[in-house]
Structure 1
Amino acid sequence: MNNKPLVLFLCTGNSCRSQMAEGFLRSLAGDRFDVLSAGTSPASSVHPLAVEVMAERGVDISDQQPQDSADYLGRISVRHLIIVCAGANETCPRIFPGMLNRHFWPFDDPASFEGAPEAVLERFRTVRDEIETRITDWLEDEA
């Protein structure tokens, strides 16, 4: 990490939504922000469909790994804590050391969607697009 403001995306499993958000922000504004993501109960790996739909946008998240939010709590100064799911919003401490801004951007969990493979893939694309739009809008406000 260097002197750029740190953005931490927080989710429950850190396998889909927060990973996609991390990838988008790093791709769109990695020159302006340091970017991390974590989970309150991290999965063992990033969901393969999250990797696939991000690749469709030209963003490679295949090397990202789920991280435990406890690994960061009290160890890093977070300028923007962005919580992307209701579960993490309920379990995350209200005060994160060094945090200046706490945002709650709830997105549906595409990994919980059940249906035909094509329908599940489409759900991942929908959530990906919602995350991209929200980050793009936020970056305009942060300019």
Structure 2
Amino acid sequence: MKKKVAFVCVHNSCRSQMAEGWAKKLGSHVLEVYSAGTEDYPEVKPGAVQVMEEAGVDMSEHSPKLLTDIPEEVDYLITMGCNVVCPFVPCSHSEDWGLEDPSGGPTEGFRNTRDLIKAKVEDFIKRVENNEI
């Protein structure tokens, strides 16, 4: 049975969307993937969509979601480094990845964040597959 993971940040417009994209592409065999934000936001950041497309991950149909749009309980909750306290989401494991938000910066910042997130998602998938978490 697949494990539910939710990637959460403030607006669900950049980092958590990238994490969702990578996790769906690389871990769909073991994960049921969600992402959400704590505040409403109108769109996924175009810079995030662009750099993920460069890496072969299509996020053109993604849109920001709120915590109320995802399951009430997940196996894993991963926050992106929101600098805010995320609301309680029942889970068996949580961790914060402490990633800087590249929004408003150059495209290279989005690429660096994309690559950091990919490495973290790959490590996370490996830990799930090996029942380490």
Equivalent in the alignment of 1:36: 34
Q: CA deviation at 1:77?
A: 2.1
8 Å Cα contact 1:12/1:85 also seen in 2: no
- % identical equivalent positions: 38
Query: Within the alignment, does 1:54 sit opposite 2:52 as a pair?
Result: yes
Equivalent in the alignment of 1:92: 86
Equivalent in the alignment of 1:83: 79
TM-score, length-normalised on structure 2? 0.90
Name stretches of at least 5 consecutive residues in structure 1 with no aligned partner: 114-119
Name stretches of at least 5 consecutive residues in structure 2 with no aligned partner: none
Q: CA deviation at 1:42?
A: 2.9
Equivalent in the alignment of 1:136: 122
Q: Which moved more, 1:20-29 or 1:42-51?
A: 42-51
More helix by share: 1
Query: Within the alignment, does 1:125 sit opposite 2:123 as a pair?
Result: no
- SS of match in other structure, 1:142: helix
Greater Cα radius of gyration, structure 1 or 2: 1
Equivalent in the alignment of 2:18: 20
TM-score, length-normalised on structure 1? 0.84
Q: CA deviation at 1:112?
A: 3.7
Number of corresponding residues: 129
CA RMSD of aligned residues (A): 1.4
Equivalent in the alignment of 2:103: 111
